[in-house]
Amino acid sequence: MLLKNITISGLGGVGGYYGAMLVEAARLEGLGRTISFVARGPHLEAIRSRGLHVHTPARDFTVRPDFIAEDPKELPATDLLILATKSYDLGANIEQLRPIITPKTIILPLLNGADITDQVQALLPGARVWDGCVYISGRKPAPGEILLEAERELFFFGEHTEERTAEEKELAALLDSVRVHVINPDHIEEHIRKKFLMISATATGTSFFNQTVGDALKDHPSEMRQLIVELCQLFSAMGYDLGEDAVERTIERQTFMIPTSTSSMHVDFMAGRPTELENLTGYVVRAARSLGLSLPTYERMYHALATEPYPPAIH
């Protein structure tokens, strides 16, 4: 067993669901693998007192991790650290987690962003960092509760190596044992870009127009499309081949989203909370400028969202 101790930091819809599935997998496995949670406040107290309750359209279950703490110093050193916080918390989160990170620890971020692995690598030079992204409709409706709104989910992860490593195979088998739809592809970076194409454009458009996905696509189809066109232009300028139908494929995937749903960035803007604007929209603008590329729709929406009171004036 190479991944004896696994730690999940960030127990919202993503970290809470997959953390619960790992606890269940380790329990069924019965080999002494330990799963630790980093949590805080009412969520921490609820899980300590009655466990983490997961509700999905098909099942209902409760798990109890081997360890749970707000201060990572109370947890064992970890072999695999799964980061599932918001991207704007990345730096602070890693600083908090340093006590359980060893030279052998593998870091697996499941954060929104096109360059998250690079950010982790800059914060932890020499660390072994995997890429990861998930597709899941999950949220934390109350302390100690995780709600999966649709049974479908996908968990992509991988290391930038020519062959799949023993640790990757072990994690894939562990997740597969509890029917997580896990994919450990040869070229994980392609899947990171593919997801970023959709979430960056969707988050930017829904936040700027202050509308659900369905309303933004219906009322502003040309601008929602242009966001995807510009993002494809950026990735092409960076040397990536997205395929001739990348724009159409991304638009089609947007239309499969629940029309009344919106992006998590839009939800954070409406609630007056910190947002992932810099990682989902600002990144695109800064990367384009560094290449001398003009992306006027992204520039306009980023400027409005970054400088104007919310919601910004549509202009």
Question: Which helix (H) or strand (E) element contains residue 11?
Answer: none
| Among 57, 230, 16, 37, CA closest to 142 | 16
CATH tag, 5-186: 3.40.50.720
Return residue ranges of the chain for CATH 1.10.1040.10. Answer: 191-307
- The label of the residue with tokens 């302390």 reads 143
Contact 157, 131 (CB under 8 A): yes
Longest CA–CA separation in the chain, Å = 59
- Rounded Cα–Cα distance for residues 95 and 64 (Å): 26
pLDDT, one tens digit per residue, over 270-309 is 999 999 999 999 999 999 999 999 999 999 999 999 999 9
Q: What is the pTM of this model?
A: 0.91
Return residue ranges of the chain for CATH 3.40.50.720. Answer: 5-186
pLDDT of 184 over the 90 cut: yes
Q: For position 228, what pLDDT does the model report? A: 94
pLDDT, one tens digit per residue, over 101-127 is 999 999 999 999 989 999 999 999 999
Q: What proportions of the chain, in percent to the nearest 5, are helix, strand and coil? A: 50, 20, 35
DSSP-assigned letter for residue 70: S
CATH class of 191-307: mainly alpha
Q: For position 253, what pLDDT does the model report? A: 77
pLDDT, one tens digit per residue, over 5-18 is 999 999 999 999 99
